[in-house]
Structure 1
Amino acid sequence: MQSSSLLHAESFHPIFKTRILAPDSKNCSLHLHYFLPRSVFVDPYELSNRADDYSFQYIGPSNLELPVAALRQDAALLLSIVRPLSDDGILDVEVPLHMRYGPAALGSSFELTELPWPDAFFACPHKSASSDRLPLMLRDFAILFDKTDIMRLEPPSGAIPFEMIRTPVGDTAHVARVELGTAIVMLAAFFYLLRATLRTMRRMSIVTLPAKEE
């Protein structure tokens, strides 16, 4: 069985926490597969710091700074869990997430993003044709499990298998003032740098003559 929840769900940096409750499956590997909507991304460098917990493979946009409106595809993440289950058969897996800036909306200050729970499953050495079907995933991930038996870990009965992230967005009513303020600040910075550059050039143009030898 598996269940998921979000920590800091009303921020740009939520953490997706999944609890695995299962008997120890020897010779089997535990995996979590995530579908990430366009407004959500993971930082591969940040995930690399969790090598004691899991290794990962990621397919999706590589530019982490792009706004939602500039993207045309969702992303997918596959974790291969390294840390073993506890003696009680429990394991908590945390994935740090980041939210992209959403488009401004008139009179709206927050945007809701639906994030599905990951699919959790054991991949075991192939013994028979009677195993659970592999969760829906991209072909690049699916081929990794061609010769394995799959044992899926289902959510608790009656659970709603997704979470909602609530992140702030801009109000289009404020766009004109923001653009004007930005333009003023940029012009002020330009003239300050221009003045500093001219003063530096004048100082550098002053040539100090060497002292006369006696």
Structure 2
Amino acid sequence: MYFVFFSLFAFLSTCHCFIEKDVKENESHCGLLTRWLESSLVSVEITKKGFHREVVTTVELSPDVLSGVSIVLVHRWPRGVFVDPYQLASLSEQSDWQILLDSAIDLEVPAHQTAGFVTYVYPSPDGPTPRLKVTIPIHGRYHEPSYDGGAFTSVDIEHPELLLRTEKCTQLHNVEPHAVVDAPCTHDNSSTCLWVKLQHQERGLVRVQFPVGDGSLVTPVCAGTLLVTMLCCVALSKHMWKHRII
């Protein structure tokens, strides 16, 4: 009887020790995750001109953050721009990052007939480098003509959200001041995971400008086009009648 009681007590004590050890390790890894976030910095730069630009995102991380930590950049794009899925698929094969789109992209519709979209970028750093750089090509959509004489329209692009997660931090309940959000685990979008979002980062805007048409010229342009078309038809008809071309 005493032997059974002693064995049960020893078993429960061992289980308690293992559970307490796992809890301490989880809290330790979660604490490291929040400290890594606090030392991280995200910056955005727009390159090239015209309707075809490149958004260059640079992420500065702690030197030891890349060991067992997954990273995702969440871009929330405005309706004034779009990305080409086929172009991104080709770039992903040649780059050290993968991308996931939250919806289908229609390449033809103008800006006022579409909505914004979200992309999830999963960098795969090659080597222990604390700096990650992702270049995403974007394209300006056609906008409604301007009736106030403006030749350009502005589109504001937000800095992406930085999310981190690690398999060793499972109890994400004490990561303040950062937030815990749901996001796809990988670019395959097979399941969602809990991620820690960098809370105190600069939510700046990068403004780009795209040319637009002059709405006051719609009537004269249409009238001129119609007149030229009619003159060409008359000239072509006379030529065909003169040379008996049937």
Query: Amino acid of the residue matched to residue 4 of structure 1?
Result: V
Query: Amino acid of the residue matched to residue 25 of structure 1?
Result: L
SS in 1 for 2:101: strand
TM-score of the aligned structures, taking structure 2 as reference length: 0.64
Tell me, which stretches of 5 or more residues in structure 1 are unaligned?
A: 195-200, 203-214
Q: Could you say if the C-alpha distance between residues 102 and 151 of structure 1 is closer, same or farther in structure 2, counting changes exceeding 3 Å?
A: closer
Q: Could you say if the C-alpha distance between residues 128 and 99 of structure 1 is closer, same or farther in structure 2, counting changes exceeding 3 Å?
A: same
Q: Could you say if the C-alpha distance between residues 153 and 30 of structure 1 is closer, same or farther in structure 2, counting changes exceeding 3 Å?
A: farther
1:20 Cα deviation (Å)? 0.8
Tell me, which stretches of 5 or more residues in structure 2 are unaligned?
A: 1-40, 238-244
- Cα pair 1:85 1:91 within 8 Å, conserved: no
Which residue in 1 is equivalent to 2:67? Answer: 26
Q: Does 1:75 align with 2:114?
A: no
Q: Tell me the distance in 2 between the aligned counterparts of 1:54 and 1:193.
A: 57
TM-score of the aligned structures, taking structure 1 as reference length: 0.73
Q: Between 128-137 and 20-29, report the one with greater CA deviation.
A: 128-137
1:174-198 deviations in Å (ceiling 9; x for gaps): 212332344456668889999xxxx
Q: Tell me the distance in 2 between the aligned counterparts of 1:143 and 1:193.
A: 61
SS in 1 for 2:52: coil
Q: Tell me the distance in 1 between the aligned counterparts of 2:136 and 2:83.
A: 8
Indicate the RMSD between aligned Cα atoms, in angstroms. Answer: 3.5
Which residue in 1 is equivalent to 2:206? Answer: 163
Aligned sequence identity (%)? 21
Q: Using CA pairs under 8 Å that are at least 6 residues apart, name the structure with larger relative contact order, 1 or 2.
A: 1
Q: Does 1:128 align with 2:171?
A: yes
Q: Tell me the distance in 2 between the aligned counterparts of 1:99 and 1:167.
A: 7
1:40-189 to 2 correspondence within 5 Å? 40-51=81-92, 52-71=95-114, 73-82=115-124, 84=125, 87-106=128-147, 107-125=149-167, 126-129=169-172, 130-131=174-175, 132-134=178-180, 144-146=191-193, 148-150=194-196, 152=198, 155=201, 159=202, 161-183=204-226
Q: Could you say if the C-alpha distance between residues 11 and 108 of structure 1 is closer, same or farther in structure 2, counting changes exceeding 3 Å?
A: same
SS in 2 for 1:11: coil
1:74-132 deviations in Å (ceiling 9; x for gaps): 211111112x1664411111111011011111211010111111112222214322334
Query: Amino acid of the residue matched to residue 163 of structure 1?
Result: V
Which residue in 2 is equivalent to 1:211? Answer: none
1:131-173 deviations in Å (ceiling 9; x for gaps): 34245879xx999443x45253853xxx551100111101112
> What is the aligned residue count?
192
Q: Please identify which structure carries the higher helix content.
A: 2
Q: Does 1:15 align with 2:54?
A: yes
Q: Tell me the distance in 2 between the aligned counterparts of 1:149 and 1:70.
A: 33
SS in 2 for 1:178: helix
Q: Tell me the distance in 2 between the aligned counterparts of 1:178 and 1:53.
A: 48
Q: 1:4 aligns with which of 44, 53, 58?
A: 44
Q: Tell me the distance in 2 between the aligned counterparts of 1:122 and 1:134.
A: 10
Q: Tell me the distance in 2 between the aligned counterparts of 1:176 and 1:123.
A: 57
